[in-house]
Amino acid sequence: MALPKGLAGVVVDQTKISSTKNAILTYAGYRIEDLANASFEEVVYLLWYTRLPSPEELHNFKRTLVGHMNLPDETLRLMNEIAKEPQHPMSILRTTVSLLGTTNNVKRDDPPTILGKMLTAIAAIIRIRDGKPLLRAQPDWSVAKNFMYLFSGNEPTDEQAAMFNTVMVLHAEHEFNASTFTARVVASTQSDYYSCLTAAVCALKGPLHGGANERVFNMLETIRGQELAPTEYLKQELAAGHKVMGFGHRIYKNGDPRAKILRGIAEKLAAQTGNSDYYDLQATLADYMLKNKHLHPNVDYYTALIYHCLGLDKATFTMLFAACRTAGWLAHILEQQREGCLIRPSSEYVGPTNQHYFGNRRQTYDTQQNHVQFGEA
C-alpha cells in the first residue's frame, strides 16, 4: 500500500477556521483577497468566533488586545537574561513562550491575554537583542501599529501601519500547516495554551516551514554581496540539486494568493526605504523561476524583503511570522480542545520481524538463510 508522504492530501479532521480547498485561501468563508483590507483585530475575532464582530464588539476587542500588550516584571527580568544569550532568536522565543507559562497565570490566561503577551514578548526579544529599552503599548493605537512601535521604537505612519496590518492578516492563519497541526496535537491532550504554543514555535523554527523567509534573504544577500548574475546563480543552484527557498507550495500550484498581495507591499516599502535594488533582484529571480521551473513565489519570498525594509535583522524574521500566526494557532487550539478527541494516528511497521530475546545473547531469525543466528547483546 502506497502511503502519502508527509500526510499530503490526507484529511485528518474538520475545521471551521480556514480552508485552502481548490487552492483558494479563506478564513471562515471569507477570501483572503477581501480580508487583506480588514484590520488585524477583525481577522483575529473572525478566526476565534468564525464571524465578523459588530462595530461595538470590534472596539471592545481591540481595547482588550492592546490592553494585554504588557508583561509582568518577573517575566521581563528573566527575558532580559534569556534574550542576551548567543542563540538563534527562535530558540530564545521557544524558551520565552515556555517562560510565559511559568510566570503568568496559566489557568486564567485567555486567548486575548496570551496573544497580547506573545506580541509584546517577541517585540521585547528584538529590543533586548539590539540593546534598546523596552517600550509600552499606546492604548489608542491599533495592534499592528503598537507592535511595529514596540519592536522598532518608531511611531509608524498610517500608511506603514496599514501595510504591516495586511502582512499580519496574511500570516495569521493557514489551515493545518506543520506548526498548527503540532499545536492541535498538543491541544488534543488537553494541555495548556502555553504548552501548545511552545510546540508550535518549535515546528515553525524549521527552515522548511517558518524559517524559509530567513533563507530567502540569505540568498538575496549572497547574490548582491558577491555581485553574482541572478540567473547564473539560479542555474548553478538548480544544477546542484539545491532547493531555491521562497518558491513553490504544496497547495498553490498556480501561485500563492498571499504572495501576490505581498509583492505590491514589498515593492512600495523597498522604494520608500532605499531597497529597490533588492526588489528588482527578486523580480528577476521570480521571472526566471516561473519561466524555467514553473514555480511561483510563496508567502516567504516577499515577506523576507518586507521585514528587511522594516529594519529587522534577518534572524528575527521567523519570530515576526510567529507573532502573526499566534492568532491562528490559538483558534485551532480552542477548536481542538472543544472537540475533546486525542490525536493518535497509526503507522505501518516496516522494520525487522521474528526477533527473539535470550538474556545477554540475542537471537535473530534470518529469513534469507533460514537459520538462527546468535550474537552478544
The DSSP bridge partners found for residue 30 are 27
Question: How many C-beta atoms lie closer than 10 Å to residue 91's C-beta?
Answer: 14
Name residue 374's beta-bridge partners: 363
73 part of the active site: no
Helices 143-152 and 40-49: crossing angle in degrees, nearest 10, is: 120
Closest CA to 201 of 183, 176, 219, 222: 183
Q: Which of 249, 296, 308, 332 is catalytic?
A: 249
| Active-site residue identified among 256, 300, 308, 332 | 300
Per DSSP, the three-state class of 109 is: coil
Residue 249 among the catalytic residues: yes
> Which grid cell is 309?
525594509
CA distance 109 to 193: 9
The whole-angstrom separation of Cα 146 and Cα 140 is 9
The three grid cell numbers given for residue 319, joined into one nine-digit string: 519570530
Residue whose cell numbers read 496599514: 162
234 close to 281: Cβ distance less than 8 angstroms: no
| Maximal C-alpha separation, the chain | 79
7 and 343 Cβ atoms separated by less than 8 Å: no
State the Cα–Cα distance between residues 199 and 186, nearest whole angstrom: 7
Q: Which three cell numbers stand for residue 289?
A: 523561476
In sequence order, what are the beta bridge partners of 247? 297
* Cell reading at 153: 521604537
Q: Is the dihedral of CA 157, 162, 167, 169 positive or negative?
A: positive
Judge contact between 313 and 132, C-beta under 8 A.
Answer: no
* Straight-line distance from the first to the last Cα atom of the chain, in angstroms, rounded to the nearest whole number: 34
Q: Which residues are catalytic?
A: 249, 300
